[in-house]
Amino acid sequence: MTIELSDDLSGLPPERTVFHVDRVRMRIMTGDHPFHLAEREAIAENWKREIAANPALFDGRMILQRRIGLVRGGIVSEGYIAPFSTFLWWRKQPERHGALHIHSYPVLETSDGALVAIRKGAHTANAGMVYFACGSFDPDDVVDGHCDPELNMRREVLEETGIELHDATVSDGYYIAHFRRTVTLFRLFRFDETADQMIARIERHMHVAEDKEIAGAVAIRSADPSVHPYHVGMLPVLNWYFGQGQDVAE
């Protein structure tokens, strides 16, 4: 079967619309991302400014997408391993042409109807922002030439919060939303604990975690965007979850 991939998101439902897919398949290509090759000098200059402002930043490797497509029941994409500095320069571009970013949100549900998220530490690239414990796909998430979303979610949640996703009941498939060429894929992980109990667990983990990536944990009980300084990718997820009915585009 021939799969049509595009370097834009025109084949997906409108921005901020949550829709469901059964599977996600993200292929990793060899070589350098075309955006990295085209913008190499600008990326290097921007990185100098970034680390001057925040010396704690690390230019690690992550997955930056190139093309994406929607097929019956699923999302498919092609991406490259690229420096974090390339991503930082790309996301500063007004139109963000030349690349796409896909990241995963493990949405932690509590027994008392809240969602638990984290606040990023002051030394991180998204300092002070609130979003679900997550991280961009990186080479450690690549299995047999494809990104493994479940591996990414388990690793990031365990590293940042000390919580094991195997302890939760998980939703089927994936929910998707996109905004400004960034695609969020998320799953719901329901725990038997209350929000206060889960936050207490996270706070205990913060005292022993080697990498102090988070500054705390919060309970979210509404879609009100003014309650916390949310990362923009959070808003469609919260609107959908607290929308009482959770309409999904097919």
Give every strand in the sheet of 23-28, ordered side by side.
Answer: 61-71, 74-83, 23-28, 146-147, 142-143
Rounded mean pLDDT of the chain?
Answer: 92
Supply the pLDDT for residue 5. Answer: 85
* Predicted confidence (pLDDT) at residue 123 exceeds the cutoff of 90: no
Averaged over 46-61, what is the pLDDT?
95
Averaged over 201-224, what is the pLDDT?
89
pLDDT in tens, 64-76: 999 999 988 899 9
Residues 248 and 236: beta-carbon distance below 8 Å? no
Q: Which two tokens stand for residue 50?
A: 């970034």
Supply the pLDDT for residue 150. Answer: 95
pLDDT in tens, 181-209: 999 999 999 999 999 999 999 999 988 87
Confidence grade of residue 168 (pLDDT, cut at 50, 70, 90)? very high
Q: CA 128, 164, 176, 33 torsion: positive or negative?
A: positive
More confident: 127 or 101 = 101
* Predicted confidence (pLDDT) at residue 248 exceeds the cutoff of 50: no
Supply the pLDDT for residue 249. Answer: 46
**Pairwise CA distance, residues 128 & 241, whole Å:** 23
Residue closest to 85 by CA, chosen among 49, 123, 121, 120 = 49
* Predicted confidence (pLDDT) at residue 127 exceeds the cutoff of 90: no
More confident: 212 or 57 = 57
pLDDT in tens, 79-99: 999 999 999 999 999 999 999
Supply the pLDDT for residue 250. Answer: 41
Averaged over 222-243, what is the pLDDT?
93
Residues 149 and 135: beta-carbon distance below 8 Å? no
Q: Tokens 């093309």 label which residue?
A: 67
* Predicted confidence (pLDDT) at residue 245 exceeds the cutoff of 60: no
Supply the pLDDT for residue 180. Answer: 93
pLDDT in tens, 128-156: 899 999 989 999 999 999 999 999 999 99
At 130, the amino acid letter reads: V
* Secondary structure of the chain as H, E, C letters: CCCCCECCCCCCCCCCCCEEECEEEEEECCCCCHHHHHCHHHHHHHHHHHHHHCCCCCCCEEEEEEEEEEECCEEEEEEEEEEHHHHHHHHCCCCCCCCEEEEEEEEEECCCCCEEEEEECCCCCCCCCEECCCCECCHHHEECCEECHHHHHHHHHHHHHCCCHHHCEECCCEEEEEECCEEEEEEEEECCCCHHHHHHHHHHHHCCCCCCCEEEEEEECCCCCCCCCECCCHHHHHHHHCCCCCCCEC
Q: Provide, rounded to the nearest whole percent, the portion of the chain with pLDDT above 70.
A: 96
Supply the pLDDT for residue 3. Answer: 64
* Predicted confidence (pLDDT) at residue 219 exceeds the cutoff of 50: yes
Q: What is the pTM of this model?
A: 0.88
